């Protein structure tokens, strides 16, 4: 009841995170919020998720009811049988690089309630800088001189971070499927695949998705085209 009262009176303040590293398989900094804060995160996501779910593309598979790893793999295998080539990408330092201003604007477009907006901003501020040591600043064509000073990063471990990570890339998903016209595109968190029958199309798409239009950059180490008849692609 005390937590409910704090939320109602705007006196709620998030507690401190506990940070630790895991290696599954690569090194990641995990930020564990106190139990009471995780309760708030779950309640908030239950309220705001319906406002966004209908806008997500069908083939965004992470952290969504009825989606998940197995359905993603099924779709990947189906398209591997249908198309000759696949472009495999991930986003460099995705969670550490998420720009709070862009994310807040994305969320505010669908959330009109002032109390919810205030709570979202509070949770965002509580996690700002948690991954600062994990991010090397990348500048994009649309950035201004103050981009380096804007808060970035979502703590890995929060339910809100997982959900907001999908919201953040929703516009990018629609850019790929609608503007680029990629009929066979899927994404799982920050890993995404584009399928086509010719390399020239994939090359054009690769240039288009490299522009950092959402404030995140594809990783050069994983951006590649594959003729999967010779070298099977792993989703």
| Residues 195-212: tens digit of each pLDDT | 999 999 999 999 888 765
| N residues, the chain | 235
pLDDT in tens, 122-141: 999 998 877 666 656 565 55
In Å, how far from its chain's centre is CA 175?
15
**% of the chain exceeding 70 in pLDDT:** 81
> Is the backbone of residue 231 left (phi > 0), alpha (psi -120 to 50) or beta?
beta
Computed over every residue of the chain, the mean pLDDT equals 86
* pLDDT tens track for 54-112: 999 999 999 999 999 999 999 999 999 999 999 999 888 889 889 899 999 999 999 99
pTM of the model: 0.84
pLDDT band of 233, cuts 50, 70, 90: very low
Any bridge partners for residue 22, and if so which? 28
| 63-99 per-residue burial string, b: 16 or more CB within 10 A, e: under 16 | beeebeeeebeebbeebbeebebbbbbbbbbbbbbbb
């Amino acid at each position: 009841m005390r937590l409910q009262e704090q939320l109602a009176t705007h006196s709620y303040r998030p507690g401190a995170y506990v940070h630790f590293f895991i290696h599954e398989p690569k090194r990641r900094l995990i930020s564990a919020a106190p139990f009471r804060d995780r309760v708030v995160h779950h309640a908030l996501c239950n309220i705001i998720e319906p406002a966004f779910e209908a806008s997500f593309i069908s083939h965004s598979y992470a952290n969504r009811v009825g989606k998940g790893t197995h359905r993603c793999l099924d779709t990947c295998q189906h398209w591997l049988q249908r198309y000759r080539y696949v472009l495999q990408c991930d986003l460099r330092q995705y969670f550490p690089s998420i720009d709070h201003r862009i994310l807040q604007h994305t969320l505010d477009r669908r959330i009109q309630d002032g109390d919810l907006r205030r709570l979202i901003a509070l949770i965002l501020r509580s996690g700002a800088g948690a991954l600062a040591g994990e991010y090397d600043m990348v500048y994009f064509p649309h950035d201004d001189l103050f981009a380096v000073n804007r808060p970035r990063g979502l703590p890995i471990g929060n339910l809100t971070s997982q959900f907001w990570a999908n919201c953040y890339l929703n516009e990018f998903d629609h850019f790929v499927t609608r503007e680029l016209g990629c009929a066979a595109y899927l994404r799982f968190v920050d890993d995404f695949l584009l399928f086509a029958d010719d390399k020239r199309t994939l090359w054009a798409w690769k240039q288009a998705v490299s522009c950092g239009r959402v404030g995140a950059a594809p990783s050069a180490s994983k951006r590649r085209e594959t003729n999967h008849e010779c070298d099977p692609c792993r989703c």
